[in-house]
Structure 1
Amino acid sequence: MTQRLTPPQGQPVRINAILGNVDDPVWRSRRHAATVDRLVLDQWEAQKSRLRRNTKGGKEIALSLDRGVQLRDGDVLAWDEDGNALLVAQIDLKDVMEVELSGLLGSMPDVVVQTCLELGHAIGNQHWPAVVKGTKVYVPLTVDRAVMGSVMKTHAFEGITYDFRPGAEVIPYLAPHEARRLFGAAAREGEGHTHAP
């Protein structure tokens, strides 16, 4: 599907679908020979299906995607074959804290329940949203890493480890509603508050 990236004067470029991703072989080869413009969005904007923004090249974009469609970094939004030009989404995702619970699997059930409840209380007391996927809990980086690490060290949870990972590594494993909870909350960090550890 080709789309002209030069709409009539005063009109935005309308985007209604994602054509693919620059990591796909077809788009990777086109990207190397094409002029690439980027629509840069933060993690909160990337969760929206409708918005208006300007690209790095100054083109006005009117995004109108189907509900539940989630933009990912590198998504191809428009391809102008005649002009040999691509419009690509660039999503700037913050890091997340990944809490690993698999160390609890061999523990007695009462220990597992108590530890998970205490972890939930510690995370909830900071007003940090969380997403649970299997034995991992993902928490958005809403404050400095040192503060989040200090909270985890203060509680010294046995059988639980944590580390920080780039959001781009985590988002492929998340459903759209989970990504909104994780990355949308991090982008609006000023709306909540954080207790001192």
Structure 2
Amino acid sequence: MGNNNTASNMITVNSVLGNIRRDKPMQERYRQMSARSMTEIVRIHRMESQRVRMRKSTDKGTDIAITLPPGSRLRHGDVVLLADNRMVVVELEPERVAVVKIKRDTLHGRHSNHSRSHDHEHGHHHHHDDEDNMLLQIPVRIGHTIGNLHRPIKLEGDRIYFPIQAESELDMFRKLFGHMNEHLEISGDKIVFEPEEGMDVHEH
């Protein structure tokens, strides 16, 4: 595979062949080859995922030169090399993130305290509207706050994830979210972070 004029063990890859997390056949192939110790992992940081040229070593020491078409983006689980006896998969390094969870139960809880069950049938549905409005506004306002700081975000269920440099930033966000805090739980975690499609921002 490698060109003879480079070091003989350097492999050049120039396309993504599939993804072991998104493509069933590739997942199956990965499982089979993994069982026979034929898989190798290239770890990259998310910030590198948009670089179209880089040199990396796999976890088994294979040197790889990655050259992709402009505008490409490597994703967690991308397969960049597939041969009879070798599969090379890209993995993103886990990174620190803030996890913002919206506490729906507090809103529902407050509700049931002041409304008797028979009210549910008669004319207090506007409470629900207020509540839904509140719930809709929170993610939008959080998104806006985070967007202003040029952070990419990922939405999953009632959780919003975005990258942070250090745990100490969590307090900064609690201050920024101000009175919304009573509806939020903010915690830190370390995960493979992949931003929402089309919600990329250029981080500084």
Aligned to 1:129, what secondary structure does the other structure show?
coil
Q: How does 1:63-78 map to 2 (within 5 A)?
A: 63-65=67-69, 67=71, 69-78=72-81
Q: 1:153-174 CA deviation, whole Å, 9 max, x = no partner? A: 4436221222334442x52x72
Aligned to 1:161: 185
Code of the residue aligned with 2:13 in structure 1: it is I
Aligned to 1:92: 93
Unaligned runs of 5+ in 1: 186-190, 192-197
Cα displacement (A) at 1:45 = 0.6
- Between the aligned partners of 1:165 and 1:148, the Cα distance in structure 2 is 12
Whether contact under 8 Å (1:15, 1:77) holds in the other structure is: yes
Aligned to 1:61: 65
Aligned to 2:172, what secondary structure does the other structure show?
helix
Aligned to 1:95, what secondary structure does the other structure show?
strand
Q: CA RMSD in A?
A: 3.6
Classify 1:65/1:164 alpha carbon distance in 2 versus 1 (closer, same or farther; 3 Å). farther
Aligned to 1:8, what secondary structure does the other structure show?
coil
Code of the residue aligned with 2:94 in structure 1: it is L
TM (norm. structure 1) is 0.63
Classify 1:109/1:32 alpha carbon distance in 2 versus 1 (closer, same or farther; 3 Å). closer
Identity %, equivalent residues: 17
Classify 1:162/1:86 alpha carbon distance in 2 versus 1 (closer, same or farther; 3 Å). same
For these two proteins, the number of residue pairs brought into alignment is 169
Q: 1:64-109 CA deviation, whole Å, 9 max, x = no partner? A: 1463x4322232211222xx12222121131321223463795458
Aligned to 2:74, what secondary structure does the other structure show?
coil
